[in-house]
Amino acid sequence: MAFNSIKYAFFLLVVFFLYWFVFDRWIAQSKQQLRWQNAFVLVASYIFYGLWSWKFLILIAFTSLCSYLSGQQMSTGRWRKTALWSNIIINVGILGLFKYYDFFAAELAGLLGVAGDKFMLHLVLPVGISFYTFQALSYSIDVYKHKIEPTRDIIAFFAYIAFFPQLVAGPIERATNLLPQFQRKRTFDYDTVVDGARQILWGLFMKMVVADNCASYVDKVFAWGGSGSEHLMAAVFFTFQIYGDFAGYSNIAIGTAKLFGIRLMQNFKTPYFSRDIAEFWRRWHISLTTWFRDYIYIPLGGSRVGKFKVMRNTFIIFLVSGLWHGANWTFLSWGFYHACLFLPLILLGQNRKYTDTVAAGRWLPSVKELGQMTLTFMLALVGWIIFRATGIPSTAGYLHEMLTSETLTGIYKIFTHWEMLPVGIMIVVEWLQRNKEHGLQNWENIFCNRWIRYCIYAFFLASTIFFRGDYQEFIYFQF
């Protein structure tokens, strides 16, 4: 069930109604009210995931059980390191088998000069496996480091791993944030539910109107080619497509969680307003980048070691990030490319220069800020070409076609495509809301008249109905 489907809308309404107005009242007098509340969330989450494939429910249940038992073993104080590494090996092994085995088998077979198909398993990649595996690992590691106490409530733990809004594509939650929320009773809060509904609406606009309309043009050019300016337009549209697609999903997930009294971490903070590539990565897919920072980069020494080791750690992080996205040389190249962009910032000690919000307290950026944001956007754009390409040769060919004299003379054509209208609306809204959690939050600060705000919400709702693009599956479902 995709978030942008009628089936999901029906599922969400039913679960929400039963959760607050039927089931919650039915168990209100129970001494185990919280346990039953979590059990309802778990059942709903397993139904949600089972509609993708019921067979993969066994896999997520096994991952959950192994991680739960590792925490229980560590709570005894004996064999702590063995319990931790056993769980890491089991879960990373499962992820590697499904996601990377065929890739490495084919590469090894190529090196040996034998037919690679004989060694490949052709396993179907379970949807969301990269996300829930990392979430399970964070629990074991945090328990081992004494950042969180191991839970004995197996239902709450299974609900933490399988919570349906963020199960398929994140945010990748930490046990220190999400698990305690399943250990205390949730109560209905009208303001939180309304804000969640607005965030869902904003996420649907980003996905269905911005991303899906850009996707049609992107798919055509990447598949069939075109002029230099058309290659540039497709690259620009894909840059906004992948943002609208993934940030849209995150907004829907976070908004949905609010409907059930759960707070998920913010996953995007207007990354295309970043002034350098380091700031971009502090604002893009925050749950994954901070996961790598906390569980790989810092254990390697982080930034407290010499510059050579900092650069080494940076390359490790980005290569692992590329590999996390998929078993493909283009993803590894994309990670290597971004690691190279970090080198000048590390050498000059500028990788932590921008931690505030751009143009804080001002309506418009300065000329310098605008130039920095434009340069960072273009660097990210080149990275997305590498990410989207089918191989290294096609990446080189695409860049060659894009960097022609015709591109300069036809660059104005970008603004003649109607897809730039929803993109422009998104940019304006996110600029006005760059200090907020999402685009439709607290519009009271801009428009005092509530009827104006209602008209704005109605506009975005109508846009998702009448101006949506052709249906596209969420890009990050493949990871």
Write out pLDDT tens, residues 371-402.
Answer: 999 999 999 999 999 999 888 888 888 888 88
Contacts of 468 (CB under 8 A, 6+ apart): 208, 209, 212, 213
Identify the DSSP state of 165. Answer: H
Domain boundary among 186, 221, 245: 186
pLDDT tens digit sequence for 458-477: 999 999 999 998 888 888 87
Query: What pLDDT was estimated at residue 28?
Result: 60
Would 395 be classed as within a structural domain?
yes
End-to-end C-alpha distance for the chain, whole angstroms: 16
Would 30 be classed as within a structural domain?
yes
Domain co-membership, 228 together with 248: yes
Cis omega before residue 393 (within 30°)? no
145-166 average pLDDT score? 94
Domain co-membership, 145 together with 72: yes
Domain region containing 397? 192-275+354-470
Helix (H) or strand (E) holding 410: none
Domain boundary among 154, 186, 218: 186
Q: Which long-range contacts (CB under 8 A, 24 or more apart) does 217-221 make?
A: 217/417, 217/419, 218/388
For residue 235, the SS3 value is: helix
Count CB-CB contacts under 10 A for residue 224.
Answer: 8
Contacts of 306 (CB under 8 A, 6+ apart): none
pLDDT tens digit sequence for 314-360: 999 999 999 998 878 899 999 999 999 999 998 888 888 888 888 88
Domain boundary among 149, 164, 186: 186
Domain co-membership, 163 together with 217: no
Lowest mean pLDDT among 73-87, 131-145, 351-365: 351-365
Identify the DSSP state of 115. Answer: -
Would 322 be classed as within a structural domain?
no
Would 335 be classed as within a structural domain?
no
Domain co-membership, 68 together with 150: yes
Would 291 be classed as within a structural domain?
no
For 430-469, b/e burial (b = at least 16 CB within 10 A) is bbebeebbbbbeebeeeeeeeeebeeeeeebeebbeeebb
Domain co-membership, 26 together with 87: yes
Query: What pLDDT was estimated at residue 472?
Result: 85
Query: What pLDDT was estimated at residue 29?
Result: 58
243-256 average pLDDT score? 95
Count CB-CB contacts under 10 A for residue 412.
Answer: 9
Specify the number of domains making up the chain: 2
Domain co-membership, 124 together with 243: no
Would 250 be classed as within a structural domain?
yes
Would 478 be classed as within a structural domain?
no
Query: Where residue 115 falls among pLDDT bands split at 50, 70, 90?
Result: low
Are the C-beta atoms of 434 and 270 separated by less than 8 Å?
yes
Domain co-membership, 43 together with 93: yes
> Distance (Å, rounded) from C-alpha 129 to C-alpha 99?
9
pLDDT of 30 strictly over 70? no
Q: Is 122 a catalytic residue?
A: no
Domain co-membership, 115 together with 218: no
Lowest mean pLDDT among 5-14, 24-33, 248-257, 429-438: 24-33
Would 283 be classed as within a structural domain?
no
Domain co-membership, 198 together with 170: no
Identify the DSSP state of 116. Answer: G
Query: What pLDDT was estimated at residue 25?
Result: 65
Q: Which two tokens stand for residue 402?
A: 């894009």
Domain co-membership, 180 together with 249: no
For residue 378, what are the CA distances in angstroms to 125, 232, 273, 280, 393? 32, 11, 12, 12, 21
Catalytic residue, chosen from 325, 400, 417, 438, is 325
Return the higher-pLDDT residue of 51 and 410: 51
202-219 average pLDDT score? 94
Query: Where residue 196 falls among pLDDT bands split at 50, 70, 90?
Result: very high
pLDDT of 26 strictly over 70? no
pLDDT of 229 strictly over 70? yes
Give the highest mean pLDDT range of 76-85, 390-399, 442-451: 76-85
Place of tokens 């908004």: 255
195-214 average pLDDT score? 95
Domain co-membership, 43 together with 123: yes
Query: What pLDDT was estimated at residue 37?
Result: 86
For residue 105, what are the CA distances in angstroms to 116, 119, 121, 302, 346? 7, 6, 9, 33, 36
413-424 average pLDDT score? 82
pLDDT of 297 strictly over 80? yes
Domain co-membership, 218 together with 363: yes
421-434 average pLDDT score? 93
Return the higher-pLDDT residue of 447 and 369: 369
